[in-house]
């Protein structure tokens, strides 16, 4: 039952392997709490009471409301699937009120720090230096996700139209413009990439020193180590650069709908979080500048 649900998420919904794994972990945790074997037992007798007890349990163990809501989202998807397949007749999640969580403003890097980060003196004059600089530049100039960086292939870059094709969540495709500075970084990197990709068969844009496709943990380490050179932010991840891209666009006058399309968000509500960070900036300026503030 659980296996068929996870296959449905992967094949029909087009979810990434990471997302499918997270959903599976959340559902297994709930079923184990209820004393059920996720691979054998059927949860049709479970009620909203078991869900509430489980929810109280994970929150009492220190889980944040935000994380608890993510687990509830996994459970909702599981029950929607079972309703669709006729495995259950009622959804106990309908009677569950999700815990309230305060809005968390996105963490982002300042413009001066980002300008410093991409300066050539921070990188070695070799393949690894060119690759790492391009990874950081691609994240900042386009706002693409970590998974989209890892999945990027050479054929998705179109120098004639100064654009690149990105395959996002649910295999949705979007076309992004390439900034002239980013185009220079791409050209420099590709001239060195041929030395690593000697057999010319590997299509992944980013390669390790051994010519193998790059992997998420390596990208994360590259971003973290380089951001440490220019910022004291506690959180240093590829997603911080995605937040930085969106925040800088908004602060410099870009329309919210345009940012939504660039980020590949399914709806505007996901993009609106950046308006809060811009408003916080306005409040800070107001307090510093207004004589009666």
The Cα–Cα gap between 251 and 70 comes to 29
- Residue 204 phi, psi dihedral angles, 5° rounding: -60, 135
- CA max distance for the chain: 68
CB 244, CB 251: distance < 8 Å:
no
The pair phi, psi for residue 157, each rounded to 5°, is -95, 130
Residue 126 CB-half CA count within 13 A: 5
- Which of 13, 48, 70, 265 is flagged as catalytic? 265
Q: Is 103 a catalytic residue?
A: no
Among 242, 243, 248, 260, which one carries the catalytic annotation? Answer: 242
Q: Is 265 a catalytic residue?
A: yes
Query: Given 145, 193, 236, 248, which residue is catalytic?
Result: 145
Any catalytic annotation for residue 145? yes
Cα separation values, 155 from 164, 207, 293, Å: 9, 15, 54
Strand partners, 173: 167
3-state secondary structure of 219: helix
- 242 has catalytic annotation: yes
Catalytic (active site) residue 76: no
**Burial (Cβ within 10 Å: 0-12, 13-18, ≥19) of residue 53:** exposed
Going by the DSSP 8-state scheme, the letter that residue 213 receives in this structure is: B
Query: Catalytic pick from 169, 174, 179, 224?
Result: 169
Please give the positions annotated as active site.
145, 169, 239, 242, 265, 274
């Amino acid at each position: 039952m659980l296996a068929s649900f996870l296959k449905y998420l992967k094949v029909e919904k087009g979810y990434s392997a990471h997302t499918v794994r997270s959903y599976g972990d959340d559902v297994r945790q709930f079923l184990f709490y209820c004393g059920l074997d996720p691979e054998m037992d059927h949860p049709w007798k479970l009620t909203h009471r078991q869900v509430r007890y489980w929810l109280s349990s994970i929150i009492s163990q220190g889980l944040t409301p935000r994380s608890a809501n993510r687990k509830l989202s996994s459970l909702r998807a599981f029950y929607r699937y079972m309703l669709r397949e006729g495995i259950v007749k009622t959804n106990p999640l309908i009677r569950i009120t999700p815990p309230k969580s305060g809005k968390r403003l996105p963490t982002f890097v300042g413009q001066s720090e980002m300008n410093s980060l991409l300066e050539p003196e921070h990188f070695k004059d070799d393949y690894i230096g060119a690759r790492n600089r391009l990874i950081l530049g691609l994240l900042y100039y386009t706002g693409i996700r970590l998974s989209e960086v890892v999945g990027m292939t050479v054929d998705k870059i179109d120098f004639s139209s100064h654009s690149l094709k990105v395959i996002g969540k649910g295999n949705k495709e979007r076309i992004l413009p390439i900034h002239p500075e980013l185009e220079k970084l791409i050209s420099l990197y590709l001239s060195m990439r041929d030395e690593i990709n000697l057999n010319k068969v590997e299509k992944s844009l980013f390669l390790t020193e051994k010519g193998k496709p790059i992997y998420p943990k390596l990208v994360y380490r590259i971003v973290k180590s380089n951001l440490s050179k220019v910022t004291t932010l506690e959180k240093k991840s590829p997603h911080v650069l995605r937040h930085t891209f969106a925040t800088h666009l908004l602060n410099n006058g870009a329309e919210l709908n345009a940012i939504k399309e660039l980020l590949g968000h399914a709806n505007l509500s996901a993009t609106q979080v950046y308006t809060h960070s811009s408003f916080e900036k306005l409040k800070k300026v107001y307090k510093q500048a207004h004589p009666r503030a």
